[in-house]
Amino acid sequence: MVLHLSRACGLIFAAILSNPIAAQEYPTKPIRIIVTGGDGGSTDAVARIVGDKLAGALGQSLVYDNRPGASGIIAAELAAKSAPDGYTMYVGTTGGLAINVNLYNKLPYDPARDFAPITLLGTQPYMLIVHPSVPAKSVAELVKLAKNAPGQISFSHTGVGSATHLAGALLESAAGVTFLSVPYKSPAHFTAVISGEVSFTITSVYLSWIQAQAGKVRALAVTGAQRSAVAPNVPTMIEAGVPGYEMGNWYGLLMPAATPPAIVTLINARTTEVLMRPDTRAALAKVEVEPVGNTPAGVCKIHKQRDSKVRCSD
């Protein structure tokens, strides 16, 4: 499943042209970083791995402000309306920056207008996990259960329209079944499977695999094009019998749109340097995130390859 940013690239990845500031005078106080999702979730893990090292590179502490709920809208709106003074950063995901704009007629923020992109931090596949009480040891068996009991096999996610919700909807569409959709805030959607409140979820490998190894959940498949390096014995969804199924998440670092250009440039440089460090890459690998690190223009060019209508500044 390919999710485009066709609307969200026109301005978000434009050149940084106005209001220079003496970057050498920045930062002089702690920087807030708004995180989509709750404490302990996969987005939180990525934000803290990169943020803790970025704090050292900048010589200032970062204050993490976790804002879960509403498919990422809460965090995105808060970040968009924050003062563009260089002291607010925002870690957003596929849901808040690419999916919502295509699902909702009206949002309290505009991904293209309201943010200055810093860099793509990384990408990550998902994992389909079930509670051990569910009598399914494969995706095919889970699909069979759903066909025999339409709308009764419960599926948790992080809100209608979120990436985890669409992951389940994609399985419904591909397999011709209907699940009972149950929204939660992240990471409660995950703990609901551990407790047995719901039958299954499709969420980050980071959250899932440790609990699967402990026997608290059963892993049935990963959603990437290839098997996960941390769970090589778990098949992909395609291998498990769901043709064409590929799904995942990406994590982006942004600031409010009117943030001074010199600050955006500085944060981009320091963040990409941090992402290239072996210790950062090793820490991200443990949570099954593939680091990226690029410029705002570089991000736009990635999306231009998918949509020729996207404009990029050189």
Residues of the chain with pLDDT under 50: 1-23, 303-311, 313-314
For 182-210, how does the pLDDT look when each residue is reduced to its tens digit (9 = 90+)? 999 878 999 999 999 999 999 988 889 99
If DSSP codes are grouped into helix, strand and coil, which group holds residue 125?
strand
What DSSP character marks residue 203? E
The pTM (predicted TM-score) of the whole model is 0.73
187 preceded by a cis bond (ω within 30 of 0)? yes
Give ∠ CA 45-50-56 in degrees, rounded to 5.
Answer: 130
> Tokens representing 203?
């969420």
The residue written with tokens 């949509």 in the block is: 307
Helix (H) or strand (E) holding 65: strand 62-67
For 62-96, how does the pLDDT look when each residue is reduced to its tens digit (9 = 90+)? 999 999 988 889 999 999 999 999 999 999 998 88
Model pLDDT, residue 299: 56
Based on its alpha-carbon atoms, the radius of gyration of the chain, rounded to whole angstroms, reads 20
Question: Which amino acid belongs to residue 74?
Answer: I
Model pLDDT, residue 69: 83
Model pLDDT, residue 258: 95
> Tokens representing 163?
């990436």
Domains and CATH numbers, the chain: 23-123+250-304 (3.40.190.150), 125-222 (3.40.190.10)
